[in-house]
Chains A and B, each alone.
Chain A
Amino acid sequence: MYKKMIMAGLAARPVRTTVSILAVTLEVTLILVVVGLTAGISDETAKRTEGVGADILFQPPNSSLLLALSNSTMPVALGDKIREIDGVKAVVPIQTQVNSTSGLEVIYGIDFDKFNEVTGGFIWHKGGRFSAPDEVIVDDIYALARHVNVGDHVELLNHKFKIAGIVEHGKGARLFIPLQTAQGMTGAVNRASLFYVKLKDPDQVHTVIERMKQVFPTYGAIPLREYAKLMMSTSMPALDAFIETVVFVAVCIGVLVIFLSMYTTITERTREIGILRSLGASKQFIVGLIFQESAVVCLTGIVTGIAASFLMARLVTLVFPTLTVLITTGWIAKASVFALLSGIIGSLYPSLRAAAQDPVEALAYE
């Protein structure tokens, strides 16, 4: 019976019901897509960084784990000192750059030979290594997304680059330029943003890191095998704060719309509430009715929100193929709980107000 009443109530006000469902849909989509984009980018970056094939990531003091965000640099000569540490096989300096003209692309300035030494070399799809300072190597995903080929020109950081080669993705960045070119573009001559370190025995990672910390106590040395885990952990408070802000804003949207919807509903249905009270409906019955109506709106919004999020993720990857949206079951569950919570909070006051109405006054309401 409850179900019949709830569905009839919702169907009688189709515009309001649709708007309320859309608001919850927006709430869920906002959470899932923004969190999915953040998680997707960091997950994809982590996988590419792990895919470099090195054992240790060496960074300047106070560096971010999001490599593209690291502003600090170190002298390239530091690489020689790192190489002297017992257990180190090879070291490659990297100068990172971010190109944000279309999407967010990390560019590695690399010493080609040393990069090959540490990573084992690129898997080539087309073309080959740089033969001039204004040449760039791109990965296959970038080439596909931008519809570019070897010999084509691309503009990066206000500089024109000729594509020298296309390689298999997964070696840290999607774009690689000569180290000297990257240094020249930032004015950081003979400096590097990070070093990738290859060990003679990968099982000795923690021992070598201890040795590094003795020589460079303020610098950061991270085992690359743990990079993805560290990227997702609380070691990135700024990212957590961003996600929390997005979730908060999304929940606020949900709460306010549900509140407004339910508040106007109970005002419009004052007489109906009076009728139910005259029939002997308890206050709990009225509260339950409003809550369940709100729950139906929320559950429908959750389902459409999840579907819309996957659709949005697909659209994002179609428009920006280099971006990844990672929608996890964990966040689907969290977004659903947040949407239900906003339904409960949003309908709490209207339901209590409805239940508190005097039956005689409610029946006299025009």
Chain B
Amino acid sequence: MNILLETIALQKIYKVGKIDVEALRGVNLRIRQGELLAIMGPSGCGKSTLMHVLGAMARPTSGKVMIDGENITGMTDNQLTAIRRKKIGFVFQKFNLLPTLTARANIEVAQHIHGQAAGSDHDQHLAKILQLLMIEEKMGRKPFELSGGEQQRVAVARAIANRPAILLADEPTGSLDSKNSEIVLNMFRELNRRFKQTTILVTHNPELVAYTDRVIEMRDGVVVSDNDPIPRDTESELVQPARSV
């Protein structure tokens, strides 16, 4: 199985006033293509920072980040933007839908930015996603007209509409009740099974573990446990450029 994501001695230091805050302190990770995994840990352990770095939203202070065969460590802002556009899909705790647009337009914005031309193949793919997420009937509504669970499902549809290689979800059930949380998590599992997207759920909620194949635990900016680690000697398998699924 190809390794899609890898970090080597990843360090991220934030400046808060005159104080340096070390959010990541040498994180080493290897993630396979098509994996569904959870990165867990208490608040402030560095899991969100790790997600931002893995999602090409933030640059590491030192160390190496390989995404789909490309080292993003020294990339310019434009290059990082292109990585996000082509390879990453984000789902956030607060849904982050554009409030002035309908659910459909929110998805179309992502497609427009991605440069995805309208076509039967894309339309069919989107139709499948909407059907799976059970939001076909909600497409004409604006975010404030949708429930939290529906908004999150629209956010998921927007994140995967462009078939990114990696789907990153930051506390995806953090704003949902237990019923909606279960629906959304089941959908993540189903989407991962159907579309083989590498899906990383970043959470502090231990209940999510039941829905993932692998759990990585973080504490104080380092990985403290991994129930399915990939040994370093699998070098030959590393970074076979995988195209978006």
Q: Are B96 and A4 in contact, CB atoms less than 8 angstroms apart?
A: no
Instruction: In the complex, identify which listed stretch (A34-42, A75-83, A180-188, A268-276) lies at the interface while the others stay far away.
Output: A268-276
Smallest CB separation, A222 vs chain B (Å): 62
Across the interface, which residues of A come within 8 angstroms of B108, CB to CB?
1, 4
Q: Are B77 and A276 in contact, CB atoms less than 8 angstroms apart?
A: no
Smallest CB separation, B75 vs chain A (Å): 13
B57 at the interface (CB under 8 A from A): yes
Smallest CB separation, A235 vs chain B (Å): 54
Q: Are B100 and A282 in contact, CB atoms less than 8 angstroms apart?
A: no
Give the residue name and chain of the B residue nearest to A275 (CB).
Answer: B96
Across the interface, which residues of B come within 8 angstroms of A8, CB to CB?
98, 100-101, 105
A363 at the interface (CB under 8 A from B): yes
Smallest CB separation, A14 vs chain B (Å): 12
- Given contacts A9-B100, A11-B100, A12-B100, are A278 and B82 in contact (CB under 8 A)? no
Give a binary string over B52-95; 1 marks a CB under 8 Å from any A CB, 0 the rest.
Answer: 10010110000000000000000001100110111010101000
A330 at the interface (CB under 8 A from B): no
- Given contacts A360-B57, A360-B58, are A278 and B96 in contact (CB under 8 A)? yes
Number of A-B contacts (CB under 8 A): 74
Q: Are A271 and B96 in contact, CB atoms less than 8 angstroms apart?
A: yes
- Given contacts A278-B84, A279-B84, A280-B82, are A4 and B113 in contact (CB under 8 A)? no
Give a binary string over B142-164; 1 marks a CB under 8 Å from any A CB, 0 the rest.
Answer: 00000000000000001000000
B114 at the interface (CB under 8 A from A): yes
**How far, in whole Å, are A282 and B99 apart by their CA atoms in the complex?**
20
- Given contacts A8-B105, A12-B100, are A1 and B112 in contact (CB under 8 A)? yes
Interface size on B, residues (CB 8 A): 29
Across the interface, which residues of B come within 8 angstroms of A5, CB to CB?
98, 100-101, 105, 109
**How far, in whole Å, are A282 and B81 apart by their CA atoms in the complex?**
6
- Classify the interface of chain B: helix, strand, loop or mixed: helix
Across the interface, which residues of A come within 8 angstroms of B176, CB to CB?
none
- Given contacts A1-B109, A1-B112, A278-B57, are A272 and B81 in contact (CB under 8 A)? no
Q: Are A280 and B52 in contact, CB atoms less than 8 angstroms apart?
A: no
Q: Are A280 and B96 in contact, CB atoms less than 8 angstroms apart?
A: no
Smallest CB separation, A164 vs chain B (Å): 70
**Between-chain CB contacts (< 8 Å), 19 pairs:** A1-B105, A4-B101, A4-B108, A5-B101, A9-B100, A272-B99, A276-B113, A277-B57, A278-B55, A278-B84, A278-B90, A279-B90, A279-B109, A280-B86, A281-B81, A282-B78, A282-B82, A282-B85, A360-B52
**How far, in whole Å, are A11 and B100 apart by their CA atoms in the complex?**
8
**B-to-A contact residues, CB < 8 Å:** 52, 55, 57-58, 77-78, 81-82, 84-86, 88, 90, 92, 96-101, 105, 108-114, 158
Across the interface, which residues of A come within 8 angstroms of B78, CB to CB?
282-283
Which A residues from 217 to 258 make CB contacts under 8 A with B?
none
Q: Are B98 and A275 in contact, CB atoms less than 8 angstroms apart?
A: yes
Smallest CB separation, A156 vs chain B (Å): 61
Q: Are B92 and A277 in contact, CB atoms less than 8 angstroms apart?
A: no
Instruction: Determine which residue in A1, A279, A285 has the highest number of CB atoms from chain B within 10 A of its CB, and name it.
Output: A279
**How far, in whole Å, are A2 and B90 apart by their CA atoms in the complex?**
21
